[in-house]
Structure 1
């Protein structure tokens, strides 16, 4: 194998596929990046058997030659060294030459690296996916959906299904739900399907997979195809394939958890509430105590307090924009509310309370495409 390639494009592709490679894998070949040169261009692949990423660099792009292929072939190179080397090479182009015994020479500017490669025939093939259940959406919408749900997945492995995000599609409406059993984030979005009948209801994608996907997607309105099978999901855009396995098991029925009525409803400025809760938690930095207490005062004002016995007490007053219903006293994990407030892209939010010991719902005041549900904390 022998080819010369533009360094910037090569670095970008190597960084993309490296996100799928784990140093903890028990399969030695999966610690490497597979590089394949063909008549069309160069394909790079990285995998840890849960996530697989394939990035393609075409020979030409917009009349600009990216790759010059002299001899087709393939090689697997240790990702740990290879990714750092290509990033630091001095020239604008890199020549890659594979000789006997998989020895690979990288030449760029005044630098020459000789690396011991691995046999590409041992590298597992990517899953063959039937493109039946296909839908698509703009990349920037997908990035928003991931950002607005992935933070709420469980980080505890005792219930593996909760480390994933539940996706369902019905009549062109995608619903994404994440919960760690103390909080829940739900996001709806309209998507384009290849057939009006596309419906699925128990697809659970590991939160880690979607977080890695989010890092490599451009924030553009270009479309991305999403293909779902029984145990895999494929995200397919120009020159990039991202495969993830799906989690086994049934996701909890979250729709039943969301209250349909409220006893107290308040509308507040999101930034003001976020700043108040952040200040309220300043004294609890050292401990695990993120409990915030809220009670209603006169003149539609909420009083927010946080007490850390060995440090002190914070009291904040927040004016509501609208208040209706009963008086309220409730305690909750302030950090969970902060996480949600940071991803709500809305000036004002509405919180519906159903009692001191019942879950409460927060959502944008002007839109109904997302909601967050929180469990209260018993403080006595």
Structure 2
């Protein structure tokens, strides 16, 4: 195998596929990046068997020539070393040559690296996915959905399904839900499908997979194809394929958790509330005590307090834009509320309470496609 490639394209693709490679894998070949050179261009693949990423660098496009292929072929190179080398090579072009026994040479300017490659035949083949049911989303919307739901997944492996985000499609609408059993985030979005009756109800995508996907996607309005099978999901962007396994098990019926009535309603400025809660946790030591207390007062005011016995107490009064219903005192995990307020894309929010010991709902004022639910904290 022998080809010459533009360094910038190569570095970007190597960084993308490296995100799928785990140092903890028990399969030695998966510590490497597979490189395939063909007439059309160069394909790079990285995988840890849960996530697989494939990046294609075409020979040329309308404006530039990226790759010059002299001889087709394949090789697997150790990901960590290879990624570091490619990033630091001096010239804009890199020549890659593979000789007998998988001996590989990387040349750029006056730098020459000789690497021991691995047998590409041992590299697992990526799953072949039937593309019967495809739906599409603009890339920037998909990144937004991940940002607004991924933070609320559980990081504890005791209930594996909660480490993922639950996706379902109903009536042409994608509903994404995540919960760690103390808080819940939900985001809805209209999707385009290739069949009128595309529906699914129990697709659970690992939170880690979605986080890595978001990192390699550009903020653009380009459409991305999404294909779901029984145990895999495939995201197809231009020149990138991203496969992830799905989590087994049944996701909890979260619709039943969301209260439909309210005893106390608050309308607040998102930024004002976010900053007040951030200040209230300044006395919290190492993030251990994140409890914030909220009390409604006269004249539409609310009082926010937080106490850390060995450090002190913080109190702050806020003016609500609107305050309706019964008087209320409630305690909650301030950090969870901060996480949600940071991803709310609305300058004002509604918070609906159904009592001091019941979950409460936070919704943006501007639209109805996101929702956050929080469990209160018992403080006595």
Structure-1-length-normalised TM-score: 0.99
Partner of 2:29: 29
Partner of 1:323: 323
Residue 242 of structure 2 is aligned to residue 242 of structure 1: yes
Q: CA RMSD in A?
A: 0.6
Runs of at least 4 residues of structure 1 off by over 3 A?
A: none
1:29 partner SS: helix
**CA–CA separation in structure 2 for the residues paired with 1:310 and 1:340:** 28
**CA–CA separation in structure 2 for the residues paired with 1:116 and 1:228:** 37
Superposed displacement of residue 287, structure 1: 5.0
Segments of structure 2 that go 5 or more residues without pairing to the other structure are none
Show CA shifts across 1:174-224 (max 9, x none).
Answer: 000000000000000001011110000000000000000000000000000
Partner of 2:267: 267
Partner of 2:185: 185
Partner of 2:92: 92
1:286 partner SS: helix
Partner of 1:314: 314
**CA–CA separation in structure 1 for the residues paired with 2:286 and 2:50:** 36
**CA–CA separation in structure 2 for the residues paired with 1:346 and 1:186:** 15
1:61 partner SS: coil
**CA–CA separation in structure 2 for the residues paired with 1:132 and 1:153:** 29
Show CA shifts across 1:205-260 (max 9, x none).
Answer: 00000000000000000000000000000000110000000000000000000000
**CA–CA separation in structure 1 for the residues paired with 2:366 and 2:119:** 57
Partner of 1:49: 49
1:205 partner SS: strand
Q: 1:287 to 1:149 in 2, by over 3 A?
A: closer
**CA–CA separation in structure 2 for the residues paired with 1:319 and 1:9:** 52
Structure-2-length-normalised TM-score: 0.99
Show CA shifts across 1:299-353 (max 9, x none).
Answer: 1001000000000000011111111100010000000000000000100000000
**CA–CA separation in structure 2 for the residues paired with 1:356 and 1:223:** 44
Partner of 1:285: 285
Partner of 1:300: 300
Partner of 1:2: 2
Partner of 1:131: 131
Residue 122 of structure 2 is aligned to residue 117 of structure 1: no
Show CA shifts across 1:344-375 (max 9, x none).
Answer: 01000000000000000001012100000000
Show CA shifts across 1:1-55 (max 9, x none).
Answer: 0000000000000000000000100000000000000000000000000000000
Partner of 2:336: 336
Superposed displacement of residue 285, structure 1: 3.2
Q: State how 1:156-195 maps to structure 2 within 5 Å.
A: 156-195=156-195
Superposed displacement of residue 132, structure 1: 1.3
**CA–CA separation in structure 2 for the residues paired with 1:129 and 1:285:** 49
